[in-house]
Amino acid sequence: MTIQILPTVLINQIAAGEVVDRPASIVKELVENAIDAGATEISIQLEHGGRDVITVSDNGCGIQNEELHLAVTPHATSKIAEEADLAAVASLGFRGEALASIGSVSHLAITSRTQHDEAGMRIEVDGGESNEVVPTPSRVGTTVEVKRLFYNTPARRKFLKSDSAETTRVRDAVQRIAAAHPEVSFVLKSGERTLLQYGASDTKDRLISIFGPELTSELLDVSYELGDMKLWGVVGTPDVARPTSRNIRIHVNGRTIQDASITHALKDAYKGLIEPKRWPTAALYIEMNPALVDVNVHPQKSEVRFRDKNAIWRLVSRGVTAALHANDIVATIQAESAPVSFGTGEQMQMIEQETSTWLRQETPLPTIRKSDEVMQVQKCFLVTQDEQGILIVDQHALHERIMFEELYERMKQQKLESQRLLVPESIQADGARIELIESHQALFTNLGIEIEASGPASISVYALPTLLVSRNVEGSAFIEDVLDLLSDAHGDVDEESVLVDILDMMACKAAVKAGDSLTQTELKDLLSKRHLYDRSSRCPHGRPTTMRLSIEALEKQFGRR
Ligand code: ADP
Ligand code: MG
């Protein structure tokens, strides 16, 4: 094969693969451009999840008539001019490749006008081919339209998910940017439906509109300084921890980023306060010297590299811990757990059938004899014995595991039993949530949930799984968590993991809690089911359900050995 230089259009299409892989990343680039242009009002309109049309309009400074053709040219930018600028980028964009990339994989049209221009100008780009710039009436600002995305790169178009899944991603992307720019008003519409509408406000109010008004009293202020780095924002109380990390927002110098190490530092501050599988709610803003953070490391600019990672970790973990302490939220015990293995359910069944083989097993498996007394301690732990010592069982964790397995088994065979509510529960919802329930009706039916939009901003729950009703579980909180999980799954609901997460959540909510007193029969019933399931030494969240104090350890402690 001969080596040849690729044509520009192909070069841009290749770049587009990294920068703009779906409607959400296009919206992100266009909204960032609007913010860089000083816009205070940004509106976004989608048709069919953005695959047919994405329109972003702003009231920013606009592009001068004679520069409009440059805006769609690769490597053309007004934001940096020399190498030194790259070391301390203050704008959101700087590579000058977004518009060129978008233009190479769609029909792109930009209409723009600055306050110095008499009229607006419009340029169209079709699959990388720029047309003449033509005068067009326009107010000051810019409107970018992206039509028939990936029409000339079918392989890429195939990677797009359902309209509602793409819409959800766009909504997430807009929400993330909106959290960093409360002074800007945003409207996001999909077809006729308004999905988001945020008026200009301050950070706290913007976050409340994003996280939902029910979190108002659950957000604690964070304010911390380390050297010349500043951390501020809000974190949620442990009560509003979520099954996914979607309520974690991280911003560095006005840029919305994802960062595993900051997320871990945040989670670390909650150690002992929330279950390992749950995630805190948080919006953190870090301000630091831009020269100490490299923003040019990720094609979509959604990750950055810190010069001093440890300092960032300290800033976040100390800042969040301080906020929790200031509000008297403290983990008192951080016990080391030494979980026991009870063997798998299959092994246990085998043992029940063939008692004689069990003595020959390498590690003897413990059994609780029916005659053994069970004691409930502090309405929280069950204490009993097996051959090897004293067993201490967390009643909630064990019940949760058992319920989870029962639900999972039932769900595999048929749908869950459902019970109609005497009074339907009403839940606040935005357009995106409504779309989410509409597109997942089958799943809801299988879960025994009857749910429908009852207005432009509300949904009603008519029926819930019998299990939850019989355990007096608050329906709205459960539905909120389910919607969070679904929206995080971006439409991939066939994935077993989403179902497992939902059932996990159901089991957790329905299981007996610490503080529930149990009768002797209930205690024994709970323990007798322990052997039925695989993994029953762990609850679905991965916490141990049971610990053993072995006779051997006790003998050592008491000086008998
Ligand atoms: P970058 O943002 O990295 O500079 P883009 O391809 O996104 O690259 O945009 C190219 C240039 O077009 C920008 O540098 C800016 O001058 C201009 N531009 C793009 N969008 C807008 C907008 N909404 N308002 C004003 N100028 C814009
Ligand atoms: Mg840009």
From atom 2 of ligand 1, which residue's Cα is the shortest distance away?
93
Fold of 334-561: formyl-coa transferase, domain 3 (3.30.1540)
| Type and span of the H or E element at 422 | strand 418-428
Q: Residue 339's pLDDT is what?
A: 38
Fold of 8-200: Heat Shock Protein 90 (3.30.565)
Q: At what angle do helices 23-36 and 163-180 cross, to 10 degrees?
A: 30
The angle subtended at Cα 219 by Cα 217 and Cα 221, nearest 5°, is: 125
Task: Please list, in sequence order, all residues whose beta carbon lies within 8 angstroms of the beta carbon of residue 336, skipping any fewer than 6 positions away.
Answer: none
Q: Residue holding tokens 């065979």?
A: 413
Among 529, 490, 492, CA closest to 507: 529
Distance 462 CA to ligand 1 centre (A): 49
Domain segments of the chain: what residues? 8-200, 204-326, 334-561
Distance 234 CA to ligand 2 centre (A): 29
3-state secondary structure at position 147: strand
DSSP secondary structure string for all residues of 15-43: HHHHH-SSHHHHHHHHHHHHHHTT-SEEE
Measured between alpha carbons, how far is residue 525 from residues 70, 233, 398, 442, 459 in Å? 74, 47, 12, 34, 38
- Classify burial at 45, counting beta carbons within 10 Å of its beta carbon; exposed 0-12, middle 13-18, buried 19 or more: middle
DSSP secondary structure string for all residues of 166-182: HHHHHHHHHHHHHHH-T
pTM of the model as a whole:
0.69
- Per-residue confidence of the chain (561 residues) as pLDDT tens digits? 789 999 888 888 888 778 899 999 999 999 999 999 999 999 999 999 999 999 999 999 999 999 999 999 999 999 988 888 888 888 999 989 999 999 999 999 999 999 999 999 999 999 999 999 999 999 999 999 999 999 999 988 999 999 999 999 999 999 999 999 999 999 999 999 999 999 999 999 999 999 988 889 899 999 999 999 999 999 999 888 888 888 999 999 999 999 999 999 999 898 878 887 889 999 999 999 999 999 988 988 899 999 999 999 999 999 999 999 888 776 543 333 333 433 333 333 333 333 222 222 633 345 555 556 788 888 888 888 877 788 888 888 888 888 888 888 888 888 899 999 989 999 988 888 888 888 888 889 999 999 999 988 899 999 999 989 988 888 888 998 898 888 877 665 555 667 878 888 898 888 888 888 888 888 888 887 776 554 455 555 556 677 778 788 788 777 787
From atom 13 of ligand 1, which residue's Cα is the shortest distance away?
77
3-state secondary structure at position 59: coil
Which bound ligand lies closest to the C-alpha atom of 102? Answer: 1
Q: Is the separation of the CB atoms in 377 and 514 below 8 Å?
A: no
Among 177, 176, 184, 173, CA closest to 39: 184
Task: Please list, in sequence order, all residues whose beta carbon lies within 8 angstroms of the beta carbon of residue 380, skipping any fewer than 6 positions away.
Answer: 394, 395, 396, 514, 515
Residues, Cβ < 5 Å to ion ligand 2 = 33, 93, 98
Which bound ligand lies closest to the C-alpha atom of 63? Answer: 1
Q: What is the atom index within ligand 1 of the atom nearest the CA of 100? A: 6
The residue whose CB lies within 8 Å of the most ligand 1 atoms, and thus the one to mutate among 56, 77, 101, is 77
3-state secondary structure at position 122: strand
Torsion angle (degrees, nearest 10) of CA 189, 190, 192, 198: -20
Q: What is the atom index within ligand 1 of the atom nearest the CA of 91? A: 2
Q: Residues with beta carbon inside 6 Å of ligand 1?
A: 29, 33-34, 37, 58, 60-63, 71, 77-79, 93-100, 142
Q: Residue 520's pLDDT is what?
A: 82
Intrachain domains 8-200 and 204-326 with the same fold: no
Q: Residue 262's pLDDT is what?
A: 96
Phi, psi values for residue 108, rounded to 5° = -105, 135
Q: Residue 342's pLDDT is what?
A: 38
Task: Please list, in sequence order, all residues whose beta carbon lies within 8 angstroms of the beta carbon of residue 158, skipping any fewer than 6 positions away.
Answer: none
The residue whose CB lies within 8 Å of the most ligand 1 atoms, and thus the one to mutate among 36, 42, 92, is 36
Q: What is the CA radius of gyration of the chain?
A: 28
Distance 147 CA to ligand 2 centre (A): 18
Q: Residue 472's pLDDT is what?
A: 86
Q: Residue 491's pLDDT is what?
A: 60
Q: Is the separation of the CB atoms in 399 and 157 below 8 Å?
A: no
Q: What is the atom index within ligand 1 of the atom nearest the CA of 61? A: 25
Q: Is the separation of the CB atoms in 351 and 365 below 8 Å?
A: yes
Put the strands of the sheet holding 282-287 in their side by side order.
219-226, 229-236, 282-287, 248-252, 255-257
Q: At what angle do helices 163-180 and 203-211 cross, to 10 degrees?
A: 160
Task: Please list, in sequence order, all residues whose beta carbon lies within 8 angstroms of the beta carbon of residue 314, skipping any fewer than 6 positions away.
Answer: 226, 265
Q: What is the CATH number of domain 204-326?
A: 3.30.230.10
Q: Residue holding tokens 């001093």?
A: 308
Q: Residue 110's pLDDT is what?
A: 98
Q: What is the atom index within ligand 1 of the atom nearest the CA of 95? A: 3
Distance 70 CA to ligand 1 centre (A): 9
